[in-house]
Every structure is written in structure tokens, then in C-alpha cells.
Structure 1
Amino acid sequence: MATGWAGDGAVHEQIDATINDAVERARRRLGQGPGRERCEECDAPIPEARRRAVPGVRLCVACQQAQDEDAAFSAYNRRGSKDSQLR
């Protein structure tokens, strides 16, 4: 089904392009190099296996989990229920 000037599959192509751009941005943000031998937050040793698995690692597992939990918190209700919008 064609809509206006857009060809068939144009919406899917746009979605794919958006996803590919997001993946490339995420890959550019990944660390580079061997990583740190000690955590920059708590100075605990970072195991060799973690440094090989996560290039450019800076934090130990415990500090990384704490940072991820802090980043996951949001004061906004993103569920979009009608009850939350009416309040």
C-alpha cells in the first residue's frame, strides 16, 4: 500500500536506519584499550577476565552495578497510564 510519495517499505527502512544509527552511537561510546587494573571508584582490583571482556573498563562489577542502578532511576512516569496523566 503506497502512501503519498513514500515507496512501499519506506517506514520499515526508516525504522531500520534509526536502529542502525543508535547501534553505531552505542558502539562509539564503548571503551577502547586494555582498561584499568583497579576500579577508579573504590580502588578494588579488576579481574583480568573482566578487562578482556569489557574493553576500556574503568569500574569493578559492584561499582558498575551501582552506577547502572542510579542511571536507571527516573522521576518521570513513562508508562503513560491514564491515571497518572490525570493527576
Structure 2
Amino acid sequence: MADAADYATELNERHLAGALASRAHLAASHATECDDCGDDIPDARRKAAPFARTCIECQGIRELKAKGVRR
């Protein structure tokens, strides 16, 4: 009979497996163009952050907007 610890372990394993699958999918997408401006994402950024979907400039703008900073 499974106890609470077994359920928690199973839930944790499912969550981890899903996160890893999601990350692998993002890394495999190898975006070459920014989702926001359409410019090329530089090779250095794609190597450093293979999951990146935006160029560094657009990512900076997204982060400022998330903080509530107005331009």
C-alpha cells in the first residue's frame, strides 16, 4: 500500500520528467530569429542559451516590462 511519501515521490518524478522534456523540446527548436523583432539571434546567444526565443535586446525589453518599467 502506497503512503503519502510514495505519492509525493511519484508526483515529483512526473514533474521533473515533464520539465526535462519541455527543456529538451525548447533546446531542440534552435530558434534563429527573434520572436519579437524578427532579427537573427546571434550564435553566441544561441550557444549560451539554446532555449532563447528572443535576441538580447528584446529580452531586455521583456524583462523591463515584467518589472513594470516604462520606456
TM-score range, shorter chain: 0.5 to 0.7
Q: Secondary structure at the match of 1:68?
A: helix
Tell me: higher relative CO, structure 1 or 2? Use CA pairs within 8 A at least 6 residues apart. 2
Aligned residue type for 2:27: G
TM-score, structure 1 as length reference: 0.46
Question: Which residue of structure 2 lines up, in the alignment, with residue 64 of structure 1?
Answer: 59
The Cα of 1:56 is off from its aligned counterpart by 1.1
- The count of residues paired between Structure 1 and Structure 2 equals 48
Structure 1 stretches of 4+ with a deviation exceeding 2 A read: none
Structure 1 position 40 matched with structure 2 position 35: yes
Taking the TM superposition and a 5 Å limit, the aligned residue runs for 1:2-81 are 28=19, 31=23, 32-34=26-28, 35-73=30-68
Q: Which runs of 5+ in 2 are unaligned?
A: 1-18
Aligned residue type for 2:36: E
Task: Considering fraction of residues, name the structure with more helix.
Answer: 2
Q: Distance in 2 between matches of 1:61 and 1:53?
A: 11
Q: Which runs of 5+ in 1 are unaligned?
A: 1-27, 75-87
Pairwise CA RMSD of aligned residues?
2.7
Question: Which residue of structure 2 lines up, in the alignment, with residue 13 of structure 1?
Answer: none
TM-score, structure 2 as length reference: 0.55
The percent identity for this pair of structures is 30
